[in-house]
């Protein structure tokens, strides 16, 4: 699996994965044009989208109404190192559930792939492929 990120000028980038493209940018107050979510917003959105997907699948499997499912997400930044320090996800399910269903739904939400990738972080290798310096 792979994707490609291409610089588009200023603080804007295009992220390509298969036939899909997402634009990231920075807010105007940070020198961007606000043409897309910032990478941090995209990161938080990815987490919330993954949780929502797992919750909706749980609801479908158990005949629980999910039309109108909404997740509200708040996050805070932290320092040393600069990062997302706290994420709070509130799942609004439009159907009433018994306590056992609620407990299972929360377990399913915690099991989403993006959340598990934060709980058990992946190894991230970053390398540089520089233009041939001898050609200059």
Domain tally for the chain?
2
Q: Would you say residue 131 lies in a domain?
A: no
pLDDT band at 117 (very low <50, low <70, confident <90, very high): very high
Q: Are residues 90 and 24 in the same domain?
A: no
Q: Token digits for 80?
A: 């040393």
Structural contact between residues 18 and 26, judged by C-beta atoms closer than 8 angstroms: no
Q: Token digits for 51?
A: 């949780």
Q: Would you say residue 135 lies in a domain?
A: no
Structural contact between residues 75 and 87, judged by C-beta atoms closer than 8 angstroms: yes
Q: Would you say residue 127 lies in a domain?
A: no
* Residue 37: count of CB within 10 angstroms of its CB: 18
Give the domain CATH number at 107. 3.30.300.20
Q: Are residues 3 and 31 in the same domain?
A: yes
Please state whether the peptide bond connecting residue 81 to the residue before it is cis, i.e. omega within 30 degrees of 0: yes
Q: Which residues are CB-contacts of 134 (< 8 A; sequence separation ≥ 6)?
A: none
Mean pLDDT of 107-120: 98
Q: Domain range for residue 25? A: 1-36
Q: Would you say residue 136 lies in a domain?
A: no
Question: pLDDT for 121-131, tens place per residue?
Answer: 999 999 999 88
Mean pLDDT of 35-40: 97
């Amino acid at each position: 699996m792979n994707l490609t990120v291409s610089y588009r000028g200023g603080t804007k980038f295009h992220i390509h994965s298969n036939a899909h493209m997402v634009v990231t940018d920075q807010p105007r107050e940070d020198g961007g044009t606000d043409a897309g979510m910032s990478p941090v917003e995209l990161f938080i959105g990815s987490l919330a989208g993954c949780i929502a997907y797992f919750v909706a699948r749980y609801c479908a499997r158990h005949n629980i109404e999910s039309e109108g499912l909404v997740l509200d997400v708040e996050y805070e930044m932290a320092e040393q190192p600069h990062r997302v320090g706290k994420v709070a996800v509130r799942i609004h399910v439009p159907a009433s559930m018994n306590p056992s269903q609620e407990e299972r739904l929360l377990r399913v939400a915690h099991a989403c792939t993006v959340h598990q990738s934060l709980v058990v972080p992946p190894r991230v290798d970053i390398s540089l492929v520089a233009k041939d310096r001898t050609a200059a």
